[in-house]
Amino acid sequence: MGKEAIIVGIGIHKFGRFEQKSAEELGQDAVIMALKDANMGFKDIQAMFLSSSGTIYPGLGPKVAYLFGRTTIPIVDVEAACSGGGACLRMAQMAIAQGEYDTVLALGVEKQPRGFLAPAVSGYEMWQALAGLDENPMYWAMKARKHMVDYGTTIEQIGMVSVKNHKNGVLNPNAMYQKAMTLEEVLSSRVVCDPLTLYMFCAPNDGAAAVILCNQKAAKRFTNKPVILASCAHRLNPYPELDVGNYFGYKTGNKPVTTLAALDAYEKAGIGPENLSLVELQDTDASAEIIFSEELLLCKEGEGGRLVSDGITELGGKLPISTDGGIISKGEPVGASALGQVYEVVLQLKGMAGPRQVKNAKVGLCHVRGALGHSCVTILKT
């Protein structure tokens, strides 16, 4: 266990739209906060990984670092679509485990335009764009409809996910939307792709989040409230993937990537879904929370809708999901969102989540799922 990475510092730049700020500045703010949290200076960082979806320009890692002054430490930029932050954290974790570094920084930064993502960002080919078969929400709408028909999941249950996450978002000063919504408001908002409505979706936006990892020995110098990175798994989706970017598939019986990454993470951590105090997952849309809670094995297949309608996933419920409001409230700065989840879970495990604190939080899980089949599952414990 001596090779476990310890989280000694976390920082965040509020998720939202910040036209006056460059991507580097967003990243710098998150790093300053994480360095303060860890009582260290940038010169204490020995290696750095930066996650961005590549919508801005390459080389963002060094550019953020140089704002603190020229450095000669190795810095590598990582891209894994909506799972980029998780992939980046895994790189940092491996750098610690490998033994060469005592302190490693994982930083996620994103700046994005409003509205649907440009076709190339999600990996579409030109003919898909010309055929109009390149709107990400259509895939999620079709998944939602299939889930409703197969398992009796209701549109009200899907809407309740959005209501819950917006309610939690009110308590999170770093969320883009800090506004409660009624079920009626969610269900009657503009239809994006039927059966899903506007207030059931997350919006791409800007933001940054930073996590500083240490090995166990070095961690003692920087924190007296260590949070252990128990496992961080990254997998890609097997065939078929009836999701973003794809246009064909075949029933193979393969498990979906979220389940594969979760099984990896549970096994490496020696922790099962029954041990979790809270979960952050990829609520790209409200139905995704229901489907992913099943794929993360938090409940049986088809019972995800009941988790929300029975109040299990509410703040104060048996297994709160997205206590920070999820990306439905925070918005999704693609390369930074996974580290934003880690930020929330670390706060919770340290008992510092204020009005949204989960009682006796001991173990938390973070899940992201992105284009091209990427998914990461991270488990943190006290």
Q: Give min distance, CB of 292 to other proteins, in A.
A: 17
Q: Give min distance, CB of 335 to other proteins, in A.
A: 20
State the Cα–Cα distance between residues 326 and 340, nearest whole angstrom: 9
Amino acid at 336: A
Compute φ and ψ for 349, nearest 5 degrees.
-70, -25
Which residues in this chain contact other proteins in the complex, by CB under 8 A?
115-116, 118-119, 125-127, 129-135, 138, 141-143, 145-146, 149, 191-196, 238-240, 242, 246-252, 254
Chain-centroid distance of CA 244 in Å reads: 17
Smaller CB separation from other proteins, 143 or 381: 143
227, 130 Cβ separation under 8 angstroms: no
State the Cα–Cα distance between residues 30 and 343, nearest whole angstrom: 11
Q: Give min distance, CB of 285 to other proteins, in A.
A: 12
State the Cα–Cα distance between residues 48 and 216, nearest whole angstrom: 18
Structure tokens at 373: 């089949």
Q: Give min distance, CB of 194 to other proteins, in A.
A: 5
CB-based contacts of 60, cutoff 8 Å, min separation 6: 23, 24, 27, 50, 52, 77, 109
Q: Give min distance, CB of 53 to other proteins, in A.
A: 16
Compute how many other C-beta atoms are within 10 angstroms of the C-beta atom of residue 269. 23
Compute how many other C-beta atoms are within 10 angstroms of the C-beta atom of residue 301. 12
Smaller CB separation from other proteins, 32 or 198: 198
Using CA atoms, how far residue 331 sits from 132, 169, 177, 200, 215, in Å, is: 25, 10, 8, 12, 32
Q: Give min distance, CB of 81 to other proteins, in A.
A: 17
State the Cα–Cα distance between residues 377 and 90, nearest whole angstrom: 10
Q: Give min distance, CB of 207 to other proteins, in A.
A: 22
- How many residues are present in the chain? 382
Q: Give min distance, CB of 97 to other proteins, in A.
A: 29
CB-based contacts of 77, cutoff 8 Å, min separation 6: 49, 50, 51, 52, 58, 59, 60, 61
